[in-house]
Chains A and B, each alone.
Chain A
Amino acid sequence: AQSVSQHNHHVILSEAASLELGCNYSYGGTVNLFWYVQYPGQHLQLLLKYFSGDPLVKGIKGFEAEFIKSKFSFNLRKPSVQWSDTAEYFCAVNGGGFKTIFGAGTRLFVKA
């Protein structure tokens, strides 16, 4: 069965620090990969997605993610976080079919 593992449940950073959130999935076939963000009081929004091609994907608000097929990973990065990046981040995988599997989420708090 497909599964998604997010390594950190809570992350606290100071503004301007670099961010990397880990995501690993278990599925042997072709996958579509997503990072969603949920800001306080708002709905889930797509941050970035990988379907095929360049494994380094750039998303909104300066976020990027790298798909490493050999490691079954899709880690999210941002060189310098801002207070406004405080949110919950979800990694998600679709391995064919219509079902998308989400990780448990990582809560990021950025100190001003």
Chain B
Amino acid sequence: DAGVTQSPTHLIKTRGQQVTLRCSPKSGHDTVSWYQQALGQGPQFIFQYYEEEERQRGNFPDRFSGHQFPNYSSELNVNALLLGDSALYLCASSRGDRENTEAFFGQGTRLTVV
């Protein structure tokens, strides 16, 4: 039973560029949440996707957007990269049909913006 997988594991981009990160949820999960974890801080909620729609969003600008596919996998897109976007981006999957549910996290994608 595969857990949450994210790709790529590491990425270096130049300021102003655009980036796409990918996530495959744990088998049986239909909900994907994305988090940004800056160095020395806890994960911060970016948004959550369920049934191919964004159903809640954190305090992140519109440069951060996402998508969920029919197979429940998800992408996180960040446009016009800033140096401050350098962080570990975590994907977490869960079952969206349950009110009390735990999330399973992937290893993350380390994004460095230079």
Contact = CB atoms under 8 A, between A and B. Distances in A.
B43 A49 contact: no
A44 B90 contact: yes
A62 to B, nearest CB: 19
A100 to B, nearest CB: 6
B44 A102 contact: yes
Interface string B81-110: 000000000101000000010111111100
Contact of B107 (A43, A92, A100, A105): A43
B42 A51 contact: no
Given A43-B107, A44-B90, A97-B56, A102 B102 contact: no
A92 B100 CA distance: 14
Interface in A68-103: 90, 92, 97-103
Interface residues of B, number: 26
Interface in A16-51: 32, 34, 36, 42-46, 49, 51
A104 interface: yes
B108 to A, nearest CB: 7
Contacts of A99: 45, 48, 56, 58
A43 B41 CA distance: 15
B10 interface: no
B105 A51 contact: no
A90 to B, nearest CB: 5
Interface of B: 3-4, 31, 33, 35, 40-45, 48, 50, 55-56, 58, 90, 92, 100, 102-108
20 contacts: A4-B42, A36-B105, A42-B107, A43-B105, A44-B90, A44-B105, A45-B105, A46-B103, A49-B102, A52-B100, A90-B42, A98-B48, A98-B50, A98-B55, A99-B45, A102-B35, A102-B42, A102-B44, A104-B42, A105-B42
4 cross-chain pairs, A with B, having the tightest CB-CB distances, nearest first: A102-B42, A44-B105, A98-B56, A51-B100
